[in-house]
Every structure is written in C-alpha cells, then in structure tokens.
Amino acid sequence: MVTVVALLFSFLQFQTSQARYRWTVHTSSGEVTGFINKTTPNVAQFLGVPFAESPEGPLRWLPPVLKSRKGRIDATAFGNNCPQYLGNLTTVYSEDATGFVTPQNIGEDCLSVSIWAPKKECSETGSLPVIAWLYGGGFNEGGANVPYQNPAKWVERSQKHIVVSINYRVNIFGFPNAAGLKDDEQNLGFLDQRLGLEWIRRNIANFGGDPNRITVWGQSAGAMSADYLNFAYLEDPIISGLIMDSGTAQIQGYSVDGLDHSNFTFVATHFGCGNLSAKAELDCLRNVSSEDIIALIKERSDAGTTPALMFVATVDNRTLFANYTERALVGNFSKKPAIVGTNADEATSFTLPYDRANGPDIKAAHLTTLGLFLCPAVKTTQDRYAGDPSTATYRYLYGGNFTNISPQWWEGAFHSSELPLVFGTHDLLRGPSTPFEIAVSEKMQDYWVAFAEDPVNGLPKMGWNAYEPTGDAVLIGWHDVVSQPIAEARLEAPCDGLIPRPGALPPP
C-alpha cells in the first residue's frame, strides 16, 4: 500500500511540475500564484490556497478563523491533507482501485482550497458557474489531491465552469466530541466547509467565477455534508444548487459516544491528560503532536482493539440535526435544486472480507446498497417533494462497469466508481478507456455543468426532468446505453421508507 500511494503522489507531483508559466490572482488571503501546465494548457490551477488560519496549537479544536491577508502565496503544489491515516484492511480500494487512495502528505495546516479555472476566464470577472467539491471518506479521510478526483481534464474539455475543492478536518481533529468544547462547535469539519464556501463566494470572481452560481457537489460523506449545509444555512445558503452523490442527510452516521465524550477522553488519558477538568483536558491534549494522536487511533483500529475509537459528526442542532424528515416536510431547507443519485452496486467495494476470486457475500452487499444508499436517497427525494414540490430534484442511478476502474468481475458500479467518469480521470490507471466509457464520462460531465449553469432549467433542456412520483429518473452507463430513462417507481420499489423491503434487490 505504501508503495502504491508513493507512486500516485509522485505522479501528481510530476503533473504539477510541468508548469509552462505562472498565473497570479489577488484574493483575501493574499496574492496567489498558480500555474498552467502542458497536460491541460487551457486550465489555470491554484493548489493549496489557505482559506483559514492553521488550526493547530491554541486554534486546534476551535472553529476555523478566516485567513488573514499575507503578501504572496505559492499555489503551484498541493498543500497538506488534514490529519488522517490509511487502515491496514485489504479492500477494493487498496487492491483494485488505488486511484481513490488519499496521498499521505498530512499536517494540521490543511484548511485550503484548490481551484481549476479556464485560463481565458481568469482575467475576467464573475462569468462562469462554480462547482465546489466536498470529498468523501467517512469523515475520517480524504483530500484535494486524490488522483481520481483531479478535475483539470474536465475543465480543459468544458471551458465553461470552475471547480474548487475544499479541504476540511476529519477524524478526531474535525469531529472530536470533546467535553471541553461548546455543544455547537463539535462538528468542526462542517464549519470548515462553510468557511470554505464563504471564501469562494468572496474571491471566486477574481478567477472568472460567478459568486451567485456556486453548486456544492459532494460524494459519500461529502454528499451528506452538502445536505447538512442545505438544512443548516436557510437564510444564507451561498449555494445555487447541490449535488448529492451516494449520500444524503438521511444516512444515519452519528457519533456513538454521545454526551459522555468517552472516545476523546480515552485519547486524552492515554497521553497523560486524564482526570482533569474538561477545559484542562482539551488544553493538555493540544500539546500532543497530531502525528502521535493519529498513530494511536490507527494502531487501535488496525488491531481491532476495543473500545473502538470512532470520531464522526454529532447532533448539535446547528450543523447537524436528528429530524431531517420533519424539517423537510415543513420546508426547513434551502429549497435549492438538487441532483440525488446512487450507484447500482455501491457495497461490493466494502463488503468484507475481500475475496478477489469470488467477490463478497452478494446478499449482504445488496442489503447494504439498499439500506445505506438507495433508500436514504429515495427518502430524501420524497421528503423534498412533499415539503415543496416546486423545488426541483433530479434523480439518477449510475450503472457503469468499466474494467479499468472495476477490474474484478463482481465489482460493477461500486461506491465511488462514477467519480473518475465525472472528473475525466477514468484512463489514469489500468489502461485506456473504451469509446463507450468516454461517451458516458462526457455525458455525466455535461449533466453536471448544465446543472451548475442553470440549476432549474439546465437539465430539462437535456431531457432530464425533475422528480415526480410517476415520472422518470435517468439511468447512466447501463448495458451500452449512455443515458436512458428509468421509472422513479423502479427506484422506489425496494424501499419502505429508509428500510429495504424483504428480499428486494437493487435496481435496475
């Protein structure tokens, strides 16, 4: 695994090192100098631009602070990914689909955005739609420089949109659930995302972007985050639309140690910070290196030691609520148009143990695909429609199965396998793409850009109509058809609310 990650990171460094010339833009963080390379000569790239002060030392486990202006910022290479670790489990992602692995250049000074914009637009003001990307990773990992999630080729092809990736804190540094913190300041990762969006709105016109057309797109935990933002900031959502890709607020993934804050206290005690007041515990652990803290969590996770140390979001009634159906039904969400979709074989990639020859327990995989992904997407769509039928929701199911992304016969359209198609990185590893794969990629890219350009009318102009109970969604990449209708009723049939019906199979 270490060798694979090193090779992928070396590839990314090679890509950014092929700079033809520099490009400078003024921002609230300072004068930012990016680059244009030979691979995508019509794309200006600005990597690792800080939007917040480094959340370390006395700022560790506090809400992000907007970056103060400094003179010059070198944005020609990716910055740090926030503190995290790679586990030792053998999975599809460690063996067959390594392009999803997050390179381990980590450090606490990690709150940055990376921007990819058409070169010709960087000297103009406020014209192009913006897609703000929130990575997945179960709130435990992820970063801007995941190889499959580099949008340079997409922007090179489109020349009609800008992509901005937002780095946010994960694991214990993003979701500590510590007794010494305010109840509504536990979900620091979500506060990072919000400040990142605020930075984009403030600065994106200088890169050629339209601050009134910002679509937030997330996948998995990033999609859940996008939906959380949709409910949390009703008065000033910033966004004009949202794309929820294999995740919504209806997925139940909250902190398991609740009000006793036992996970954080366990870590503090290990490092000699136990038996202190809540504030003193926090201050004491701020003096322990992030590397040592992450190493402890990784060691226990790899060994399967109990108690398991899980750090994920907690209900705070500010960024995360416990009653999303009730809130949706009375219209307490941003009422911005949304794309909501899932994959046909979500759970084949993480149903364990990994068995290259035979694949996973397919019944267990089907149940997880339905219960963790499809049914929450169905419920989210139905609730949005019931709460406000005039708010457009566009439903899709991705069914692409391409051997350079899913090399084993049983993998299919697994969780995350659509991302290389949208980002245009499908041919990055394991051989060239087929003409059909390229066509599917371009269709998905065009859907996303059309939505970002005009969240209300863009997709209907392409033949993809908003959700109605008796209408059609789109099925993408299935059986040699780039895009085709699929009845909403077929997507909803396996689900009874959030619960899969007995014996139901994932569509199509």
The catalytic site residues sit at 220, 346, 415
Q: Would residue 502 be called left, alpha or beta, if left means φ above 0 and alpha means ψ between -120 and 50 degrees?
A: beta
Distance CA 444, CA 151 (A): 13
Residue listed under structure tokens 């007041």: 277
Q: Which residues contact 463 (CB under 8 A, 6 or more apart)?
A: none
Distance CA 80, CA 142 (A): 11
Characterize the bridge pairing of strands 495-496 and 499-500: antiparallel
The alpha-carbon radius of gyration of the chain (Å, integer) is 22
Cβ atoms of 294 and 351 closer than 8 Å:
no
Angle, CA of 358, 360 and 363, to the nearest 5° = 120
Backbone angles phi, psi at 187, to 5 degrees: -95, 70
Say how many C-beta atoms besides its own lie within 10 A of residue 123's C-beta: 12
Cβ atoms of 248 and 223 closer than 8 Å:
yes
Residue listed under structure tokens 């990994």: 354
Query: Residue 111: which of 83, 151, 150 has the closest Cα?
Result: 83
Cβ atoms of 113 and 164 closer than 8 Å:
yes
